[in-house]
Chain A
């Protein structure tokens, strides 16, 4: 069953703790993306990667970090430096940049 899997669906963390969101795809896609969505706002790009062991900052990378050690995995770490981490996080992938993109079902992170 091909697709993009984000886990967990819901995540709760205490303020000041780092937390890692998982994104795995078995579509053999080269490019992967992380977005953040806040209520009433559009999706904003955090980081993207077009090839293993390489990634670039998006529009709102501060307070986040990523790694791309394997083609199928692109985990996102929300660090304690992120001032307002509570949001809905979405991961996407595409064969390469500028081709059809597919999204996971998202992780809702709540920091208390």
Chain B
């Protein structure tokens, strides 16, 4: 059974800093991996989808990498802004198994 772990569980950084969120998963036989953000009391917003054949995917200030063999993905956020404050979740696209996410707070 796929298990997903995200470290750290919570992170607070000053505005403008670059940061990295980590995601690890136990079953490397995945087709792709998706990153989401969730604002309090809201649904999930898709940020990036990385296909298993890709190593990286970029969207604006976000860059996600995927290393299937080691069961790891990272989400890099450049020049963080207060609006980036949210919970970030990763999910291997095999019935979308989720961990508990990383709660990110950007301090103005």
Contact = CB atoms under 8 A, between A and B. Distances in A.
A44 B93 CA distance: 14
Nearest to A45: B95
Contacts of A67: none
Interface of chain B, helix or strand or loop or mixed?
loop
A90 B95 contact: no
Which range holds the interface residue count of chain B? 20 to 34
B93 A103 contact: no
Interface string B62-101: 0000000000000000000000000001010111111111
Contacts of A106: 41-43
B97 A45 contact: yes
Contacts of A98: 31-32, 93-94
Contacts, number: 60
Given A42-B89, A98-B31, A58 B43 contact: no
A75 B77 CA distance: 36
Contacts of A42: 4, 89, 98-101
Contact of A101 (B4, B93, B99, B100): B93
Given A42-B100, A42-B101, A98-B31, A103 B95 contact: no
B88 to A, nearest CB: 12
Contact of A58 (B36, B42, B95): B95
A1 interface: no
Contacts of B45: 103
A64 interface: no
B46 A102 contact: yes
A40 B100 contact: yes
Q: What 8 pairs across the A-B complex have the smallest Cβ distances?
A: A98-B31, A103-B44, A103-B43, A42-B98, A43-B98, A105-B43, A42-B100, A100-B49
Interface of B: 4, 31-32, 34, 36, 41-46, 49, 89, 91, 93-101
Interface of A: 6, 33, 35, 40-45, 48, 58, 88, 90, 92, 94, 97-106, 108
